[in-house]
Amino acid sequence: MGYSIGAVSKRTGISIDTLRFYERVGLTPNIERTAGGQRIYNDQDLAFLEFAQKMRATGMPLEALARYVALMKRGIETVPERRAMLEGYAAEVEARVAELQKAQDALRMTISWYQAIEARESAAALLDLESAPGRKIRSNHADKSR
């Protein structure tokens, strides 16, 4: 099935300008064109764009993605190199995820600390209300003057 650049943009969320840029830099090679020069994307192109979006979401540089595409163009003999490239990048992503997890843990700990402070402040405010002028202070000791 063929998709226009506008349909691909709507379907993937990638802007038309970015789709054109990807083609210019070789990230989406072999996009077919109509006799009038309009781009026609197929399902395989869409699948690659979805993969590219996921790689970009991890922070993969365009240069690395372009290298991956260049390897794809060379054929099946590059599968080991492509796999190794993705394994190396996956390890980098895992390390970043671990660092982000540590940062998230620090955020949660600090938020909990602030919540504890706020709870103590609320408790202190309640105690201040209890001892405000005109309020009887409760005591465990019996009043001996009676």
Q: Is residue 138 part of a domain?
A: no
Beta bridge partners of 69: none
Q: What is the average pLDDT across 7-27?
A: 93
Q: Does residue 19 have a pLDDT over 60?
A: yes
| CA 31 – CA 78 distance, rounded (Å) | 22
**pLDDT at position 135, please?**
56
**pLDDT at position 122, please?**
81
Judgement on whether residues 106 and 49 belong to the same structural domain of the protein: no
40 φ, ψ to 5°?
Answer: -125, 115
Last residue of a domain, one of 17, 39, 62: 62
What secondary structure does DSSP assign to 21-46, as a single string?
A: HHHHTTSSTT-EE-TTS-EEB-HHHH
6: which residues sit within 8 A by CB, 6+ positions away? 16
Q: Does residue 5 have a pLDDT over 90?
A: yes
Number of compact structural domains in the chain = 2
Interval 80-89: pLDDT, tens: 999 999 999 9
Select from 88, 19, 7, 85 the least CA-distant residue to 48.
19
| CA 133 – CA 122 distance, rounded (Å) | 19
Q: Is residue 124 part of a domain?
A: yes
Task: Find out whether 39 and 32 touch, Cβ atoms under 8 Å.
Answer: yes
Q: Tokens 């671990």 identify what position? A: 98
The residue with greater pLDDT, 59 or 99, is: 99
Domain, as residue range, for 17: 1-62
Q: Does residue 76 have a pLDDT over 70?
A: yes
Judgement on whether residues 6 and 44 belong to the same structural domain of the protein: yes
| CA 108 – CA 82 distance, rounded (Å) | 38
Judgement on whether residues 84 and 128 belong to the same structural domain of the protein: yes
Beta bridge partners of 3: 41
